[in-house]
Amino acid sequence: MTASKNTMAPASAGLAAPQLVTVDADSANRRLDNFLLSLLKGLPRTRIYRMIRTGEVRVNKGRSKPAYRVAEGDVVRIPPVHGLREGDEHKISQRRAGWIAEHILYEDSCLLVLDKPSGLAVHGGSGINLGVIELLRAARPDNRYMELVHRLDRATSGCLLVAKKRSSLRRLHEAFREGQVRKIYHALLQGKWTGGKREVAEPLVTEHRQGGERHVRIGAGGKPAVTRFYPEKIFNDAVLVRVELLTGRTHQIRVHSASIGHPIAGDERYGNGQSPSGLKRLFLHASELSFKHPDDGRPMIFESPLEPGLGHVLDKLGN
């Protein structure tokens, strides 16, 4: 079989035989799992991972990992796939599609910035039927290309960047890698805070536990990670901090804050799960995102205020 460009048979028909897809310039540097998800729309993410793990998916005739970034000219073997459902996003009710559209902070032909609510996953899969991407595709049916530029945990709220073109995704990924994107969070940390700002520079190791759950810990040989904490409001047994990420590792803020004895309020994984009165979620919010527009280079700055529920928690602590 000869290699083809980045094209696939209609999803509704499924794939009756293996296909070879050559990665083009627009798809270069994407993670393998995301590359496959964009080709095999409607296929559960868990199935994509299983295909990679078992070696059904091959890159240049060899096994690969989900995090591998495909390069222009790579030849990806995709096994026979049945049961793909093209257009599943159209089954999403107009009410739900309209609801996610109300959370869009900014949109143009290249990108979209969403004020993501807490409790909403960025994508479906692993027992989650719908995520940000599925809802956005339903809200914007004429724009078939929607890809996450970065991620937020399901429990984290705030600014989330989505690309609407492959060329925009490539340029924005490059900006993230080169440290040209400024990310500011706000978090409520537990415990008595003394002194001023703190910087934590500890490498992070990601472990995949049974069931595919990711757990992160500090460890030698991990990826470099730097987090800065700036106290803004100090309470008796908690502190509201502004957090600046100098790197973007999985669960970075949660692990680094816990490592200095100040876990995020409501964090059941890395903290003690205790919460101030009235807090029903993880108190972590992506409050600011700034970068240069991938098309014309103009400065883009977006802010998301704390949702009222988090504000009420701070008011109670202040009283």
Instruction: Report the catalytic residues.
Output: 153
Give the Cβ contact number of residue 86 at 10 Å: 12
Mean pLDDT check: name the lowest of 27-41, 63-77, 227-241.
27-41
Band (129; pLDDT cuts 50, 70, 90): low
Q: Who wins on pLDDT, 68 or 30? A: 68
What's the mean pLDDT in 214-223? 89
What's the mean pLDDT in 111-134? 81
Tell me: pLDDT of 13 over 50.
no
Last residue of a domain, one of 144, 171, 198: 171
Last residue of a domain, one of 78, 110, 129: 78
User: Are 211 and 307 found together in one domain?
Assistant: yes
Among candidate residues 287, 309, 242, 310, the one with its CA nearest the CA of residue 105: 287
Q: Please spell the DSSP secondary structure of 169-187, one letter per residue.
A: HHHHHHHHHTT--EEEEEE
Mean pLDDT check: name the lowest of 79-93, 122-136, 160-174, 264-278.
79-93
Quote the pLDDT of residue 266: 93
Q: ∠ CA 160-162-166 to the nearest 5 degrees?
A: 155
Give the Cβ contact number of residue 145 at 10 Å: 15
* Domain membership of residue 45 as a residue range: 11-78
What's the mean pLDDT in 202-209? 84
Tell me: pLDDT of 5 over 50.
no
Q: Could you tell me if residue 3 is inside a domain? A: no
What's the mean pLDDT in 205-218? 74
Among candidate residues 107, 169, 97, the one with its CA nearest the CA of residue 133: 97
Q: Could you tell me if residue 211 is inside a domain? A: yes
User: Are 191 and 299 found together in one domain?
Assistant: yes
Strand 284-292 relative to strand 157-163, pairing: parallel
Question: What is the number of domains present in the chain?
Answer: 3
Q: Could you tell me if residue 4 is inside a domain? A: no
User: Are 197 and 310 found together in one domain?
Assistant: yes
Tell me: pLDDT of 144 over 50.
yes
User: Are 198 and 297 found together in one domain?
Assistant: yes
| Strands of 58-59's sheet in order across | 19-22, 75-78, 58-59
Quote the pLDDT of residue 208: 67
Percent of the chain beyond pLDDT 70? 86
Band (143; pLDDT cuts 50, 70, 90): confident
Quote the pLDDT of residue 3: 39
User: Are 36 and 15 found together in one domain?
Assistant: yes
Q: What is the pLDDT of residues 30-54, one digit of tens each?
A: 889 888 887 887 677 788 888 898 8
Last residue of a domain, one of 171, 200, 225: 171
Q: What is the pLDDT of residues 251-265, one digit of tens each?
A: 999 999 999 999 999
Band (124; pLDDT cuts 50, 70, 90): low
Radius of gyration of the chain (CA): 21
Quote the pLDDT of residue 303: 97
Please give the mean pLDDT across all residues of the chain: 86
Q: What is the pLDDT of residues 150-171, one digit of tens each?
A: 999 999 999 999 999 989 999 9
User: Are 293 and 186 found together in one domain?
Assistant: yes
Mean pLDDT check: name the lowest of 1-5, 125-129, 191-195, 260-264.
1-5
Q: Could you tell me if residue 257 is inside a domain? A: yes
Tell me: pLDDT of 8 over 50.
no
Q: Could you tell me if residue 6 is inside a domain? A: no
Tell me: pLDDT of 19 over 70.
yes
User: Are 163 and 287 found together in one domain?
Assistant: no
User: Are 187 and 299 found together in one domain?
Assistant: yes
Cα dihedral sign for 140, 87, 36, 134?
A: positive
What's the mean pLDDT in 209-226? 81
CATH value at residue 126: 3.30.2350.10
